[in-house]
Amino acid sequence: MNFSFTAGQNMKKVIRCEGGVRLNYKNSFDKLRNKVASPVPHNKAPENFSRSLQENIGTLKKLFGNDDTLIVREFSTPSPFSLKCAVFFIESMTNELAVSEFLIKGIMALKIPPSIDPIEDIYKKRMLGSDVIIEDDPSKIIFALLSGSSVFFADGSYKAILADTKGYDSRTVTEPQNEKLLRGPREGFTEKITTNISLIRRRIVTTDLKFRFFTFGRRTNTLVAVTYLESLAKPEIVETLCERLSKIDIDGIIDSNYIEELICERPGAPFKTVGSTERPDTVASRLLEGRIAIIVNGTPTVLTVPFLFAENFQSGDDYYLNFIYANVGRLLRYLSFFLAVSVPAVYVALLTFHQQMMPSNFALSIVAAREGVPFPAAAECAALLLVFEILRETSVRMPNVIGQMLGIVGAIVIGESAVSAKIVSAPMVIVVGLTALTSLMVPRLKSAVLYYRLLLLFWSSIIGLYGYIFGCGLLIVRLLSMKSFGENYVSYFIAPNIQQMKDSFVRVQWRKMIERPADLSKDLVRQSSVKGEKR
C-alpha cells in the first residue's frame, strides 16, 4: 500500500470559497495536503541517498544511532554479476520470515547483469508481489521502514525497494464492549487502520466511497484516513473539515480524541460536535447520510462529522429492531436525559423553596426521612453526587470482579449505613440513584449531563424553581446556538420539512423515510417513494 502524503509548509490562512465559487473535494483535500503541518524532519536525514551501498548503510545506521531495533542484512547476488545488496527492517515490526524467504532468498537467487540502475532493473523485471514499490525520497523510505516495511538497497542506485512485510501483532475483530446491540453485526473496529478500512469497504461496495490519507503528529506520524461518499457528502462540510484538520500542529496523535478536540467547534462546550463509534455498521450508516468519517491508526474509535444533538440518543438497535420497540427505547433515552439533568435540581428546589408544591403525604415522608440529617438539602445532594462520581470513576478502572465489589460496597455504605447513621436521607439516595441510572442511559452525553446537572442544582439551590427554569433556558439557548461543521446542532428537530425529521424523537418505519435526515447531504433522496415511483 502506498501511504503517500505531502508534507506541507507552515499553516496559512485558508481562503473560504463563497458565493458562486463551486467547492469541490479535490481542491479541499489538495489544500489540506499542502497545509497539513509538516512532520518534524527525520533528524539528519539526507536529502538524497547515495549510489554507494556502504554510504547508504552508514547513513541509515547513523540516523538510527543507538536504536538496536534496526536490522541490516547485507548480502550479494551470485557470480558472475555479483551485486552487493542490503535489506533494512525494524525488528518486531516486520515479519522476518517474509523478509528472509521472499525478499532475501528471492534476490539472492537472481543473476543480475550490470545496469545503470540495478534497483529499477530488479523492480521492473524480476520483483514479484503487489505490495512492493520503488521509492527515492529519503523521508518516505524512512517512514516506510518505521512503519514495518522492509527497505532493499543495492549498490549503484540511490533508490530503494519498499516491501510491505509488516508483521506486528494486532487485535482481532470483536464486538465493541461499549456499544453492544441486541441484534445486528457483531464486528467492531480494531487498532489497525487497514482492518478498519476493510470493515467499512465491505459494507459500502461502491467506487463512490473515497478514502484520503494524511499523517498527523510531528513525532508520531499517525496515519489518518478521511472517508466519505462523494455523491452525498456536502462540499461545504468537507471544506470545513479540511480547514480544521489543516490547523492541527501537534507532536503526537495517540487516539482519535486528540483530533476530535482539535477540530470541534467549541472545545469547552459540554456537548459533543464530533461523533465517535467503534462500530463499522454505524459508520457506514453515517456515511450513507452524507457524513464524513475520520479513521485514526492505532485506535478503534472512528470519528464522524457533523454530529448533531439527536445522534446522542440514537443507537444501532433503533434501526435493526421493530420500530415501535426501538422508539420506546429512544423516547426513554430522551426522558432519561431530562431526568438526569433535572431531578436533583427540582428536588432541592421543592425541598428548600417550594414545599407547598409537593403533595402533602409526600412532603410528610420527606420531612420524616430528613429529620436529623445535619446537612442542607443542596449540600447533601452535591456530596452524594460527588460520591457517586467517585464510585463510577473507581469502578471503571477496576477489573470486573473488583468493580462489582465496589458497587456492593457503595450501595451498602451509601444506601444503608449513611442513611442509618443519619448522614444522608433515604429520598436523597433515591434521587441520586435515579439520576445515576438515567445518566447511564445516554453515555454520549455524560459530560453534558454532569455539567448541566450541577449548573441547575446550583441555580435551584439559590433561587429555587426560577433558577431551574433559568438554567434550562441557558441549556436551550446553548443548544440552539451550537453548530457542528456549519450545520445547526438541533437540525433534526427544526428541519425544513417533516421528511427530514423522521429520525428525531422517534424513528418512523423504513418505508416512510424517503429522505435522509436533517439536510446533511447533497442528495437527500434515500429511497423511492412508497408508491414505488423512482425519485
| Binding residue for other proteins, selected from 316, 344, 464, 517, defined by CB under 8 A | 464
Pick the piece of the chain touching other proteins (CB under 8 A) from 99-107, 119-127, 318-326, 359-367: 359-367
210 backbone dihedrals φ, ψ, rounded to 5°: -115, 145
Angle between helices 377-397 and 446-481 (to 10 degrees): 110
Contact flag: residue 360 with other proteins (CB under 8 A): yes
C-alpha cell at 163: 516491501
Contact flag: residue 480 with other proteins (CB under 8 A): no
Contact flag: residue 372 with other proteins (CB under 8 A): yes
| Binding residue for other proteins, selected from 17, 465, 479, 514, defined by CB under 8 A | 465
Distances (CA, A) of 45 to 56, 134, 141, 215, 240: 11, 18, 10, 19, 34
- What is the layout of strands, in order, in the sheet containing 132-135? 70-76, 84-90, 150-154, 160-163, 132-135
- Residues binding other proteins: what is the number (CB under 8 A)? 29
| 3-class state of residue 243 by DSSP | helix
CB 483, min distance to other proteins, A: 19
| Binding residue for other proteins, selected from 18, 47, 169, 371, defined by CB under 8 A | 371
Question: Any residues with CB less than 8 A from the CB of 192 and at least 6 apart, and which?
Answer: 170, 171, 297
Contact flag: residue 356 with other proteins (CB under 8 A): yes
Contact flag: residue 398 with other proteins (CB under 8 A): no
User: Pattern of binders to other proteins over 402-441, x per CB under 8 A?
Assistant: --------------------x-------------------
Judged by beta carbon, residue 139 or residue 365, the one nearer other proteins is 365
Contact flag: residue 458 with other proteins (CB under 8 A): no
Pick the piece of the chain touching other proteins (CB under 8 A) from 127-135, 351-359, 428-436, 501-509: 351-359
Judged by beta carbon, residue 351 or residue 475, the one nearer other proteins is 351
Q: Do 293 and 287 contact (CB within 8 A), yes or no?
A: yes
Contact flag: residue 376 with other proteins (CB under 8 A): yes
Helices (H), 292-423: 317-320, 323-352, 360-370, 377-397, 400-410, 419-420
Distances (CA, A) of 338 to 187, 454, 491: 32, 13, 19
Look at residues 346, 332, 299 and name the one whose alpha carbon lies nearest to residue 472: 346
Contact flag: residue 463 with other proteins (CB under 8 A): yes
Judged by beta carbon, residue 302 or residue 351, the one nearer other proteins is 351
The amino acid present at 430, given as its one-letter code, is I
Contact flag: residue 462 with other proteins (CB under 8 A): yes
Give the C-alpha separation, 324 to 326, whole Å.
5
Question: Any residues with CB less than 8 A from the CB of 89 and at least 6 apart, and which?
Answer: 71, 96, 99, 145, 148, 149, 150, 151, 165
Pick the piece of the chain touching other proteins (CB under 8 A) from 49-57, 193-201, 206-214, 371-379: 371-379
Contact flag: residue 373 with other proteins (CB under 8 A): yes
Q: Do 524 and 237 contact (CB within 8 A), yes or no?
A: no
Pick the piece of the chain touching other proteins (CB under 8 A) from 24-32, 285-293, 355-363, 486-494: 355-363
Give the C-alpha separation, 302 to 295, whole Å.
5
Contact flag: residue 268 with other proteins (CB under 8 A): no
Contact flag: residue 366 with other proteins (CB under 8 A): yes
CB 435, min distance to other proteins, A: 20
Pick the piece of the chain touching other proteins (CB under 8 A) from 17-25, 106-114, 364-372, 511-519: 364-372
| Binding residue for other proteins, selected from 25, 158, 466, 505, defined by CB under 8 A | 466
Give the C-alpha separation, 161 to 164, whole Å.
10
Contact flag: residue 367 with other proteins (CB under 8 A): yes
C-alpha cell at 365: 415522608
233 backbone dihedrals φ, ψ, rounded to 5°: -65, 135
**Which stretch of DSSP H or E encloses residue 163?**
strand 160-163
| Binding residue for other proteins, selected from 1, 97, 182, 368, defined by CB under 8 A | 368
Pick the piece of the chain touching other proteins (CB under 8 A) from 221-229, 356-364, 398-406, 506-514: 356-364
Please report, as ranges, the residues that interact with other proteins according to CB under 8 A: 351-353, 355-356, 360-373, 376-377, 422, 462-467, 470
